[in-house]
Amino acid sequence: MDLGLHDKRALVLGASRGLGAAIARTLAREGATVIAAARNTAAIDAWIAECPVEVQGRIVAASLDLSDVNSVETLTGVLEHAGGIDILIGNSGGPPPKEAREASRADWLAHFEAMAANLFHLTQAFLPGMAERGWGRIVTITSSGVEQPIPRLALSNGVRSAVLAWSKTLAGEVAAQGITVNVVMPGRIQTERVAELDQAAASRAGKSVEEAAAASRATIPAGRYGTPQEFADVVAFLASERASYVTGAKIRIDGGATRGI
């Protein structure tokens, strides 16, 4: 299937590793010009170098620290001057595990700014250009915790739920301008982030990491963790011309782990 991405420019946040890197590579393979952004641009350059030559030529690394509004405004200014973007993949690192009763006010403020407020600010900068062209795709990665809160991830559950509500609100405001806004909710995808969570679970339970991972996999109907590529393929479709009538949606990519309908 031709996804219609050959003349599109995409900005992928959190692209140094994991889901962000997989999405950036996939969009570039589909023909999009990709700006892969993160604080660690050396890591981006490293995985770009491992791509086929024709894909390498469609990806460029860009420095972005989502916790720093000046960094956000610098990158948006550069990209707007260069003609803007057509696709925005919102992706941020997850906060450390904490229970709701122990998360401090400072924790909430810091992570809301990095994971929500600055993402909203960045998105707003690109909306006028998308509206003028009559085409735009905004896909934001949250977590299955927005539907089924994950124990000890109070900061992630709370802040990402705010992002979900914002996305749904924005979708209704811009749909008539040819801009779609969707949320994807990963469950356990085999990334560095999930490895870190398994390590934390193992430490709390006094078990090995493999024992903790096995216990986690046992809760997933599919019986395994997903792969970053499986996740990226869904995101690429939502970012494509073919998904023009899909907006305001939240889509689970979790192997059936979320129990609700």
The separation between CA 212 and the C-alpha centre of its own chain, rounded to angstroms, equals: 25
Name the CA dihedral angle for 80, 6, 185, 231, rounded to a multiple of 10 degrees.
-140
pLDDT of residue 201: 85
What was the pLDDT predicted at 191?
A: 85
Distance from C-alpha of 261 to C-alpha of 259, rounded to nearest angstrom: 7
Question: Which pLDDT value is given to residue 28?
Answer: 98
Model pLDDT, residue 93: 85
Q: Report the pLDDT value the prediction gives residue 209, as an integer from 0 to 100.
A: 87
pLDDT beneath 50: ranges in the chain? none
- Rounded Cα–Cα distance for residues 254 and 224 (Å): 10
Task: Give the pLDDT of residue 234.
Answer: 98
CA distance between the termini of the chain: 29
Q: How is the beta sheet containing 136-141 ordered, strand by strand?
A: 59-63, 33-38, 9-12, 87-90, 136-141, 179-186, 250-253
- The pLDDT of residue 198: 86
Give the DSSP H/E element, type plus range, for residue 184.
strand 179-186
CA-based nearest residue to 250, from 189, 188, 186: 186
**Residue (of 214, 149, 155) closest to 185 by Cα position:** 149
> Among candidates 78, 142, 85, 153, which has minimal Cα distance to 116?
142
Taking residue 19's Cβ as centre, other Cβ atoms within 10 Å add up to 24
pLDDT score recorded for residue 210: 87
How much is the pLDDT for 159?
98
How remote is the C-alpha of 156 from its chain's centroid? 13
